[in-house]
Structure 1
Amino acid sequence: VYGHYDVQPPDPLDAWQSPPFAPQIRDGRLYARGVSDDKGPMLIPIKVAEAFLATDGRLPVNVKFLFEGEEEIGSPSLEPFIAAHTTLLAADYVLSADGAMWRVDLPSITVASRGMAGLEFTLTGAAKDLHSGRHGGAVANALHAVAELVASLHTSDGRAAVAGFYDEVVGLTTDERAALAALPFDDADYLAQTGAPATFGEAGYTTLERMWARPTLEINGLWGGYQGEGSKTVIPHEAHAKITCRLVPDQDPAEITARVARHLEAHTPPGVRLTIRHDHQEALPYRLPAGHAGLQVATQVLAELYGTAPVQVRMGGTLPVSELFQRLLGIYTVFFSFSTADEDFHAPNEFFRLDRLKEGLVAWARFWELAGIQE
């Protein structure tokens, strides 16, 4: 059983309706930082274990708990810990309390997530900022150069223009596309949630396909030059950008990062120097096999609990722990969280629905019972 007890910073504090570290119940919801991601869901298997031990004196299946306190900063200690304790952590599979159901009105199981790669780069022109009247037209402006270089990374519809970026992508099958199309997703609702004026992205794919099953190359930050009040007539001598890529099977983070770096080197405008920093977190994409034993149990439990079969969904984000468990221990991760994606984790006024807490207690107990029978 995996979970994490660390949380994101609560800022901005003035946006909270109640103190972030003083839990408060309002309208059937518990509000506090980390209550949905991941303290509330992590508490569920702990309480279920307590209940079994208090009533039966034993658990119906062998369980090992692995809770960490560094998930929100990329789990830097988790990989060496797992690598050093492979025998201790040997198991049939991981049941994760972390994660989230897709919607509150529809039971779901996350069966795939995108991987991640990234880098940061700097373009440097002159040795210092220069007077734009005295030197304008004679030296390169680093901001102009970074804008040109960033623009070279995409086609007009957002498709990555990096050579080889899509070479290893395993496309969706006809059945997979049909399964995604059958999910209750509406572009208009999505636009209302995000506030975006229109959807945008790679031609030939639906919004859900682009978010869950296609790779992306995103500029996360772009900065340089004078940003204070008023004007300052300078030619900025340096400018910076941060890039992350979300990856799908069978893309390799290291290879994608190398291809992006080669693109930057080949397209750097004249008059500036390029410096690349490879210090971003990397993770492989993840896919739970369709016939996995844990997936079958989770499907049965949720169908019993909600009276309808859960849908299988994907996650556009990255779940590095699943890749670690698979690579180091040879086991898959079944995500069995009772958070839902609308509970504002990482944002002010994070909350956890109390009815989900109760449902989770029932579901985890039933899962362990069925897993014990399965053994």
Structure 2
Amino acid sequence: MTYEQYFQAEREAQLAELKEWLAIPSISALSVHKEDVNSAAHWLTDTLKRAGLENIEIHPTAGHPVIYADYLHAPGKPTILVYGHYDVQPVDPLHLWTTPPFEPEIRDGKLYARGATDDKGQVFMHIKAIEAILKQEGTLPVNIKLCIEGEEEIGSVNLPPFLEASKDKLAADAVLVSDTALLERGRPAICTGLRGLCSLEVSVHTASTDLHSGSYGGGVPNALHALVSLLSSLHDDKGRVAVEGFYQGVPELSPLLREEFAKQGVNEEKIRESLGLDQLYGEEGYSFVERVGARPTLELNGVYGGFQGEGSKTVIPKEAHAKITCRLVGDQDPQHILDAVEAHLNANIQAGAKVQVKQMEKARAFNIDPSNPILQTAADAFGKVYGTRALFTKDGGSIPIMESFSRILKAPVVLMGFGLDDENLHAPDEHFNLENFDKGLLTIVEFLKTV
């Protein structure tokens, strides 16, 4: 039978199986779910075994385990390493879910559950595509390895040491990943760049205690005033980051890259309307898609301090806090960026106030040349199934481990995502459009058979 017929016959059983995995609350960020994360890992190993994979191993780490499996019976053929993750985000706020996040439900052609699109659903497709080829043809046209981790949602902190220690085991001609999205329904994309990331927490302190604004107002520094002034200094009036040295390593956009962005046909007015905004905002001189795909940013994620309860309290707060993240591009060094931002904050703090900075996560940007032959093969595979060839894009998000795979294994990374941007990943009512589940299975099979 054809692969279309095979997957149609297996569809209900496969979705029932996926629901089992989605029902396991493998939230890596919460220690109370440690055993659930382990349960999800063991569910995965059982499923890999049933699919026909070999040499299945659970590798303990300082956190959650890494799962390895392979099928190496195609001498002289390429070796493809499939990467994904089985951990999921927390579910709060729970009351905004239409149905419970770990009780998977199909509604209107969409599978709703935490992890449905990020990333259990997409990982599951690779397993089922491999299983289908083995059942249909008795062997695989390429050599396959799988590396599935349980800590992507908390920064993959223990995976780089595993990659370094397992370079020979994981050696491959390419790394295949499905953890990104199509441009929109029916328009596939292959991501050729992901922004890097760094983050920090800022605390401003003034007096030794909160003070009465009647007794001290106008005569002492206010921590909130000092913080707001400090944060305002981080950008100029054209949306550009005002930190000295921030743009070191940022490449200029080439005419060819700008042409690729233009091909995406992003409707800025539609985006503005969908977000309920009067206008979009960002660095002057760049389109929306260029700003979010290929330019660095410095964003305030949280600002807090002083009285926040109901009613009024005439207090001068002694401390105020902010959380900041930067998205990085090109060759920006996250440590250099953190140091530069910290130096800027120290140089611009208001008189009478003190600033403390806690540097946190760091990840470099990932980039790959779209002319790489294996990316061209992937684009063709999309074209055969979706009827339109994949465009090459750059994603504003960060998957920190992609740069590690590329650097440590010295292999091209192929980001063949099947999600959609409106599937609420990391938010209530996360879901996966089953149209892309069906087409994704066929696309992965096509890629593996033609690479």
What TM-score do the two structures reach when normalised by structure 2?
Answer: 0.80
Q: What corresponds to 1:211 in structure 2?
A: 292
Residues 157, 200 of structure 1: 8 Å contact kept: no
1:308, distance to aligned residue in structure 2 (A): 2.0
1:240, distance to aligned residue in structure 2 (A): 0.8
Q: Matched residues in 1 for 2:293 and 2:362: separation?
A: 18
Spell out the pairing of 1:62-211 with structure 2 (5 A cutoff).
62-211=143-292
Q: For residue 267 of structure 2, what is the amino acid of its counterpart? A: D
Q: Matched residues in 1 for 2:130 and 2:295: separation?
A: 39
Q: Matched residues in 2 for 1:83 and 1:343: separation?
A: 34
Q: Matched residues in 2 for 1:56 and 1:135: separation?
A: 81
| 1:329 aligns with one of 409, 426, 436 | 409
Deviations along 1:159-200, one digit per CA (max 9) or x if unpaired, are 101112123211110111122122211111111222222011
- Aligned: 1:47 with 2:140: no
Residues 322, 332 of structure 1: 8 Å contact kept: no
Deviations along 1:30-56, one digit per CA (max 9) or x if unpaired, are 111111111111101111121222233
1:92, distance to aligned residue in structure 2 (A): 1.1
SS in 1 for 2:411: coil
SS in 1 for 2:192: strand
- Aligned: 1:354 with 2:426: no
Q: Matched residues in 2 for 1:2 and 1:203: separation?
A: 37
Q: Matched residues in 2 for 1:107 and 1:42: separation?
A: 17
| 1:61 aligns with one of 125, 129, 142 | 142
SS in 2 for 1:66: strand
Residues 169, 251 of structure 1: 8 Å contact kept: yes
Q: What corresponds to 1:312 in structure 2?
A: 392
| 2:369 aligns with one of 265, 286, 289 | 289
Q: Matched residues in 2 for 1:144 and 1:170: separation?
A: 36
Structure 1 runs not aligned, ≥5 long: none
SS in 2 for 1:123: strand
Deviations along 1:334-365, one digit per CA (max 9) or x if unpaired, are 11121111111111111111121111111111
- Aligned: 1:366 with 2:446: yes
Structure 2 runs not aligned, ≥5 long: 1-81
Q: What corresponds to 1:34 in structure 2?
A: 115
The runs of 4+ residues in structure 1 deviating greater than 3 Å are none
Residues 190, 393 of structure 2: 8 Å contact kept: yes
1:94, distance to aligned residue in structure 2 (A): 0.6
- Aligned: 1:298 with 2:298: no
Deviates more, 1:349-358 or 1:218-227: 349-358
Q: For residue 317 of structure 1, what is the amino acid of its counterpart? A: G
Residues 260, 393 of structure 2: 8 Å contact kept: no
Q: For residue 121 of structure 1, what is the amino acid of its counterpart? A: V
Count of paired positions: 370
1:105, distance to aligned residue in structure 2 (A): 2.9
SS in 1 for 2:393: strand
1:137, distance to aligned residue in structure 2 (A): 2.4
Q: What corresponds to 2:9 in structure 1?
A: none
Q: Matched residues in 1 for 2:439 and 2:402: separation?
A: 24
Q: For residue 307 of structure 2, what is the amino acid of its counterpart? A: Y
Q: Matched residues in 2 for 1:352 and 1:290: separation?
A: 27
Residues 113, 315 of structure 1: 8 Å contact kept: yes
Deviates more, 1:305-314 or 1:256-265: 305-314
1:106, distance to aligned residue in structure 2 (A): 1.1
Q: Matched residues in 1 for 2:358 and 2:351: separation?
A: 20
What TM-score do the two structures reach when normalised by structure 1?
Answer: 0.96
Q: For residue 360 of structure 1, what is the amino acid of its counterpart? A: G
Spell out the pairing of 1:337-348 with structure 2 (5 A cutoff).
337-348=417-428
SS in 2 for 1:88: helix
Q: For residue 351 of structure 1, what is the amino acid of its counterpart? A: H
